Amino acid sequence: MTQAQHRVLIVEDEPGIRDILRTLLQTANYRVVEAESAARAEIEARSHKPDLIIVDLGLPDADGEVLIRKVRRWSPVPILVLSARTMEEQKIAALDAGADDYVTKPFSAPELLARARAALRRNARGSEQTSILKFGDLTIDLGQRLATLPDGEVHFTPMEFRVLQCLAREAGRIVTQNQLVCEVWGPGRESDTRSLRVFIKNIRQKIEPDPTRPTHLVTEAGVGYRLVTPSR
């Protein structure tokens, strides 16, 4: 799919900002769909199946995080948050809800377009890979963000799925800590390896027969991590 075919859904209640975003994206050859509320955004997302959603968090009828969680129940579409909220915990909450990246207002047009291209590239690379992982009786569908055992579903958070997706794209190869943090949390967070270690530990609790002796999600000391799947 070429960039000219990519459809972007803008979810923004301020008409002036919507106008700026529409002009910016159309000039870059994206097709644009717009929504001014969370309720309208979900309708547009289901009917138009956009390749990327750009969403403000301060919507008139619901917080943008609520919309992100609703979309994540049925779609892995890349979601880019564009918000005036700048506190770190607010950004983390949006990413935990299932957003792929976060840009603060006021924003730089070149940076926003670069983040959009990066989100679309990551999604394209992910779709080219096998989206089903199997660890013993556990089956993980990365595309649907669903993990199941014979007796039912296993809960993974949106951020845990994002870590797994990043590792799965490079299955069998080392992924550095900086690369993982940058892809999962975004640029500027490369030094935050503590959060990454917490997520790695949580994922191991769910996929490893013995989390204290991991055989699937392996640490490469001083470098990063490697996802070892049974087929490799």
Give the pLDDT confidence score for residue 112 in this predicted structure: 94
pLDDT number for residue 76: 79
CA nearest 122: which of 79, 178, 73, 59?
79
pLDDT attached to residue 3? 47
CA 161 to chain centre: 8
Give tens-digit pLDDT for 152-200.
898 988 888 888 888 887 778 888 888 788 777 766 666 678 888 999 9
Cis preceding-peptide flag for 106 (omega within 30 of 0): yes
What is the pLDDT, as a whole number, of residue 217? 93
In CATH, which of 3.40.50.2300, 3.60.10.10, 3.30.300.30, 1.10.760.10 is domain 3-127?
Answer: 3.40.50.2300
CA pair distance 20, 147, nearest whole angstrom: 40
Give the per-residue pLDDT at 1: 43
Domain positions in the chain = 3-127, 130-227
Residue 194, Cβ neighbours under 10 Å: how many?
8
The CA-atom distances, in angstroms, between 31 and each of 6, 22, 167 are: 6, 9, 31
Backbone angles phi, psi at 190, to 5 degrees: -55, -30
What pLDDT score was predicted for residue 26?
Answer: 94
Whether residue 57 contacts residue 85, with contact meaning beta carbons closer than 8 Å, is answered with: yes
User: Residue 127: its pLDDT value, please?
Assistant: 55
pLDDT of residue 38: 96
| Distance linking the first and last C-alpha atoms of the chain | 30
Distance (Å, whole) CA 116 – CA 101:
9
Question: Could you say which DSSP state residue 98 is in?
Answer: T
d(CA 25, CA 125): 22
**DSSP string across 145-192:** TEEEETTEEE---HHHHHHHHHHHHTTTSEEEHHHHHHHHH-TT-TT-
Predicted TM-score of the model (pTM): 0.60
Contacts of 226 (CB under 8 A, 6+ apart): 167, 172, 173, 174, 175, 217, 218, 220
Q: Which of 8, 5, 3, 182 is nearest to 79 (CA)?
A: 8
pLDDT-flagged residues of the chain (< 50) = 1-4, 232
- The Cβ of residue 106 has, within 10 Å, a number of other Cβ atoms equal to 6
Return the structure tokens found at 88.
């770190």
To the question of domain 130-227 being in CATH 1.10.10.10, the answer is: yes
